[in-house]
Each structure stands twice: as C-alpha cells, then as structure tokens.
Homo-oligomer: A and B are copies of this chain.
Amino acid sequence: MQLGRFKRYFPILDWARRYDGTTLEADLVAAVIVTIMLIPQSLAYALLAGLPPEVGLYASMLPLVLYAVFGTSRALAVGPVAVASLMTAAAVGELAARGTPEYLGAAIALAFLSGLMLLAMGVLRLGFISSFLSHPVISGFISASGILIAASQIKHLLGVSANGKTLPDIVTSLVENIGQINLPTLVIGVAATAYLFWTRKGLKGFLEARGVPPRLSGLALRAAPVSAVLVTILLAWALGLDQHGVRIVGEVPRGLPMPTLPPLDLALWAQLAVPALLISIVGYVETISVAQTLAAKRRQRIDPDQELVALGAANLGSAVSGGFPVTGGFARSVVNFDAGAATPAAGAFTAIGMALATLVLTPALYYLPQATLAATIVVAVLSLVDLGAIKHAWAYSKADASATVVTIAATLLFGVETGISAGVGLSILLHLWRSSRPHYAVLGQVPGTEHFRNILRHKVVEAPGILQIRVDESLWFPNARFLEDMIYDRVAANPSLAHVVLNCPAINFIDLSALEALEAINERLRDAGVALHLSEVKGPVMDRLVRSDLITHMTGNVYLTHFDALSALAPELTGATVRDLRRETAR
C-alpha cells in the first residue's frame, strides 16, 4: 500500500525498469528533433513574455527532467508555450517594467506559485477545479490569445515600438508609431514569416513530390525555423544589420542556469495569486488534453492527478533555475510523439540537448534578429486561432457558442484575465439559467399499457383529479423555485385536484434546496387538501431522501413505478386498462 502510493508519485519507477536499447534509440531520435524545434521557440516565447532570451533556455531544461520523473504521459513535451507566455507578460507587466530585475523576479515567482498550486491540487486531488473551464471558453480563449499574440509581434516585424495588452491598445499604438518602420527589419520579418508559412503549407509536399522520403521531409519541416534562424543570423552578421536599426538578440549569457530563489515577498505573491491560478488551470487543461489524445492512440493511460503533480514539479523546477511558467505544448508534444518518443526519458534527453545548445550555441545567437523570432511566434500561434469553432458551436448550442464569442471579445478588448473570467462566469450563468427552467411534462397513460407519456406529444388518458408531472432534470437550487412555482400554478388552476404525483426517473440527485422546496410543496399542498406522491425515485436519490423529514411528513406515498401510483390512486382507471392489457396479450 505504502509502496503503491510512493510509486504513484514516481511513475519513473515503473517505466525505467523496462528501459532498453530500443526505447533508448527511439527516445534519442525524438529528443534531437524536439531540441531543434525548441531552440528558436524557447527564445521566442521568452521574448513574448518580455524576458531575456536565456530565460527561455533555462525554462527548457530542469522542467523537462522533472516531468520525466513525475509525468505519466509518454509523449508530452513540457516547456515554454505561447499562451502561458502571453499570460505571464500580462500578469508581470502589471507589477514591474520590462527589462528590470523586478520583472524577471516576478516571472520567476509566478512560475514558483503556479508550481505550488499545481502540486497542491495534485496531492489533494483537486483536478476537478479545471472543470470550471468549459470547452467553449477554452476554445475562445486560445483563439483570442493567438490573435493577441500575433498582434503583439507585429511591432517586431516592422521594427517599431508599440505596446498594449488589449487589441485596441496594440493597434492604436502600432498606428501611432507606424512612421518608425525600419526597412531592413521589415524585409527580414516579412520574408521569414512568408518562408515559415510556406514550409508549413507546402514544404512537405514539395519535397515528397521530389522523392524525399516522408520521414526526412517531416524532419525538414521541423528544422525550418532553425534554418530561418541560421540564415538571418548570417545576414545580420554579414551586413552589420544591427548598425541599420535591426534589433538583434545580443549577448546571451553562456552556461547553465544557476540555482535561483524566487523573491520571498508576500505582497508580490498575493498580487500574483490569481494570475498564477489562471495560468495553472489553463496550462493543465491544455496539457491533459494533448496527453490524453496521444496516450489514447497507443492505448496507454495517464493519471490526471499525477499530471498535476508533474506539472507542479516542472514549474517549481523552472522557478528554481531562473525560468518562467511552463506547460505541456501541443505542437511539440505531437512532434515528439510522431518522432517516436517511447518514454518520458525523451524529455530528459531534450533537456540535455538544450543544455548543450546553451553551452555551445549562445555566442552564435548574438546576431539573431528579433524579427525572426517574431516570425516563428506569428506562424506558430495563428494555428491556434479557430474562429470556425464558433459556427460549429452555434449549430449545436447557441448558449455554448455565445460563451465562446464573449470569451473572445472580452479577451481581445479587456485582456487575458478578464477574458477568461468573463467566459467562466458566463458559462456557469448559462448553466444555472438552463437548469432553472428544466424541461417537464404533464403525463397521461398510453391506453392499454403501463406507460405514461407527455400529454402534449402523445394520445394519452389523463386521470381526473390527479396531476402527473415528470421533471427531466435533477432537482437542485436553480430550479427549486421553478418547481414550487410550477406546481402551485397548476394546483391553483385546477380546483378539483386531489393528488400530485411527481414522476422522478430523470432526477439524478436532489440537493438540500430542492428537498426544502419539496417539503414546502408538501406542506402547502396539504393546507390546500392535495396529497403529494413520488414515483420511480432512483436508488441513490431514495437513499438520501429516507434520511430527510420529507418522507415521514409526506401526505402521499412513494411508488416503485408510476403505474403502481396510478393503480393505487385511480384503481377504476388503471384497473380498466390493465384488463385491456390482459385482453391485448391474450389475443
């Protein structure tokens, strides 16, 4: 038991035992491909978060190793990702100016806090908190983030200065500074963007049409950003473009990250608590989605609670090695999977690759134009934008589609935190609204059977003096009031009524508010000389009801089937139909 629990927290103990040459080879190949992809991305996402480039490299080492120890997904690639970087910039930008030690300190504290929260949620098994984020909200939020991120990078492609955390602010700022456009930057930026778009859309087909095997052409696709990086570094160096106004990455400190302590400033932590929670939850939801998708393809299983622990450890690791918030990246994980990663060790090997790159390649990055990094970001994030999802959602549910639209609009107009909060609030409100007016049917008996159906939809026989109602929804606080209103209305409208039978097969639970509503209904019907009965109450619901006062005080009875109820309350009616039924069967 103790060992099982221990092993639950260290999935590495499970897969490491069976590790052999085949898995090693598969993991090494995947690690090389992911490393090639991760070098430019880690620099670019640090830039997006407003941090020095080396912070992106630092966030791509220790977190990957820790995920390999604690993670349950065989293919998840952890590291800096676009949306979390945008959220980091939004949160930290409120508290400090870019380029200051306070800004970096706050980013590190954010990773630390997010790590603690994820770890706590994992150990306490609170993963359900992520269920607050409905698909429409997540989908809208990711799309809007993609648009915001792309907009925020335009300044780097043009070589102008601009800022803002909302779309109107960014656009205004760009328009105001449009006069600053730097031609060499524009050329590099547009060319790199066009090249990267083309590699995404056409390179693979182009190569395969020329006889290059799919595996190699796939690798070429992954290496395209690195090739853009190399070519533009060479151009910038050869032409001395930094002398012509092209912003370059500049000095990147060589060497591995040093152990770092996040600033122990409680006021800062309090200010970062909400952003850290949002980053944690958004990151977790994305992580678990991609991990599930990839695991299901090979019939592997992942443990959602342990994923919280692993992601928490990865973020704590990022913080103590001077990095910023990390999470499971969708694109990189798919590449890792396609490249054949067999175990989480592939991530650890990627970390070694990143460490080597940091030790060896950093001097070569000096001349890397920021416009090239911006181009890789723009091309990567535009694949996040999926406005077609709105149309798709609209066809199924207008309520859900409106949650997407509101999340997108609020994110673009008011920023990431307001956007996601508005989406969560709206989706809960919509659910309460839907629950507050459930579908219900007044029932009548299908002649000659023991079945009862909606009197509006079927040719059925109503029992005089008996109101038979089926509510197609669990009874809980949003519809407790509805239930009272609806029954009182019908009782007031029908003075000859003597019985109300509530048919309960669709009721999965009854909360205390609804129980009290039922108790009130029972009392008020009693005052009006009407008896309340229940029929077809489900087992778990009945288990609870017997612990309440309702059953002891109820003026009527609980019947196993609705037919039993009608047989008891209107024997002359059901008796006739039962006889009919027998005759029917006898024929």
Which A positions have Cβ atoms within 8 angstroms of B? 127-128, 130-136, 288, 292-293, 295-297, 299-301, 304, 393, 395-397, 399-401, 427-428, 431-439, 472-474, 476-482, 484-485, 488-489, 491-493, 495, 505-506, 508-509, 511-513, 515-517, 520, 524-525, 527-528, 538, 540, 544, 547-548
Q: Which residues of B contact A438 (CB under 8 A)?
A: 508
Most-contacted residue by chain B among A397, A477, A478, A527 (CB, 10 A): A477
Contacts beyond the supplied A299-B495, A397-B512: 4 A-B pairs with Cβ under 8 Å: A136-B512, A300-B492, A304-B485, A395-B547
Min CB distance A554 to B, Å, is 15
Known: A128-B436, A488-B296. A508 touches B134 (CB 8 A): no
Contact of A128 among B292, B432, B491 (CB under 8 A): B432
Could you write out 17 A-B pairs with CB less than 8 Å apart? A128-B432, A131-B432, A131-B481, A134-B513, A297-B524, A299-B492, A299-B528, A301-B488, A301-B493, A396-B547, A400-B511, A400-B512, A401-B512, A472-B538, A474-B508, A506-B506, A508-B508
Chain A binding surface, main DSSP class:
helix
The CA-CA distance from A547 to B288 in the complex, in Å, is 28
Residue from B296, B431, B437 within 8 A of A528 (CB atoms): B296
Q: Is the pair A479, B396 in contact by a Cβ cutoff of 8 Å?
A: no
Q: How far apart are A483's CB and chain B's nearest CB, in angstroms?
A: 11
Q: List B contacts of A540 (CB < 8 A).
A: 439, 472
How many Å from the CB of A104 to the closest CB on chain B?
Answer: 34
Other-chain residue from B132, B292, B511, B513 in contact with A484 (beta carbon distance below 8 A)? B292
**Residue of B479, B516, B527 touching A296 (CB-CB under 8 A):** B527
Residues of B within 8 A of A479 (CB): 131
Contacts of A432 in B (CB 8 A): 128, 131-132, 428
Docked pose: A576 CA to B428 CA in angstroms: 48
Chain B residue contacts of A301, Cβ below 8 A: 488-489, 492-493
Does A293 lie within 8 Å of B520, measured CB to CB?
Answer: yes
Once bound together, how far apart are the Cα atoms of A538 and B439, in whole Å?
A: 12
Provide the residues of chain B in CB contact with A525, threshold 8 Å: 296
The residues of B that contact A439 with a CB separation of less than 8 Å are 508, 540
Given contacts A395-B547, A432-B132, A492-B300, are A481 and B527 in contact (CB under 8 A)?
A: no
In the assembled complex, which residues on chain B have CB atoms less than 8 Å from the CB atom of A476?
A: 134, 431
- A472: chain B residues at CB < 8 Å are 508, 538, 540
A482 to chain B, nearest CB (A): 8
Contact call A509/B477, Cβ cutoff below 8 A: no
Specify the chain B residue showing the minimal Cβ separation from A305: B485
Q: How far is the CA of A527 from the CA of B135 in the complex (A)?
A: 22
Closest B residue, CB atoms, query A513: B135
**Which chain B residue lies CB-closest to A401?**
B512
Interface centre among A127, A395, A489, A508 (most CB of B within 10 A): A508
Given A492-B299, A516-B135, does the pair A434, B509 have CB atoms closer than 8 Å?
Answer: yes
Give, as a whole number of angstroms, the nearest-CB distance from A584 to chain B: 15
B297 contacts A527, CB within 8 Å?
A: yes
